Amino acid sequence: MIDAAAPIPILRSFDAAKAREFYVDFLGFEVLFEHRFSPDLPLYLGLRMGACQLHLSEHHGDASPGAALRIRVPDVAANAATLHAKDYGFARSSVQRQPFGMDDMSVADPFGNRLIFFAPVSDTQAPT
């Protein structure tokens, strides 16, 4: 049996400034590292928010735009309220109750990737 940690998804990005604005300033990820083989070459960026880690890559072939990933959070409604308060012009997602027992909030990044923040619905929670 392999003793493995949680996987770290690699998402495609195309613009370092837009990536920072979205992932760091808007969503609240912190930068773990950034790497370029030289100043004029593509960026490879490591990010973390809580236990969730992501890598963003401008390198062709590392990932394709249009990926979707699910990120579990303790309180989706609180996350939605925090993001709405930031008044980011390109993402105004709402929480949706799914028939499979999850509350989801889907947010698209500037590169066509979709992050779905979710939390399981408890029997005592009212629909959002």
Average model confidence (pLDDT) for the chain? 90
pLDDT score, position 125: 55
Alpha carbon of 83 to those of 52, 61, 67, 79, 90: distances in Å? 17, 31, 21, 6, 11
**21 CA to centre of own chain:** 13
pLDDT score, position 6: 87
pTM for the model stands at 0.87
The 10s digit of each residue's pLDDT in 28-53 is: 999 999 999 999 999 999 999 999 99
Q: Are 87 and 34 in contact (CB under 8 A)?
A: no
Place of tokens 């370092």: 16
What's the mean pLDDT in 64-90? Answer: 89
Token pair for 61: 């072939």
**Class at the top of the CATH hierarchy for domain 10-120:** alpha beta
Mark residue 23 as left, alpha or beta (left: phi above 0; alpha: psi -120 to 50; beta: remaining). Answer: alpha
Q: How confident is the model at residue 3 (pLDDT cuts 50, 70, 90)?
A: confident
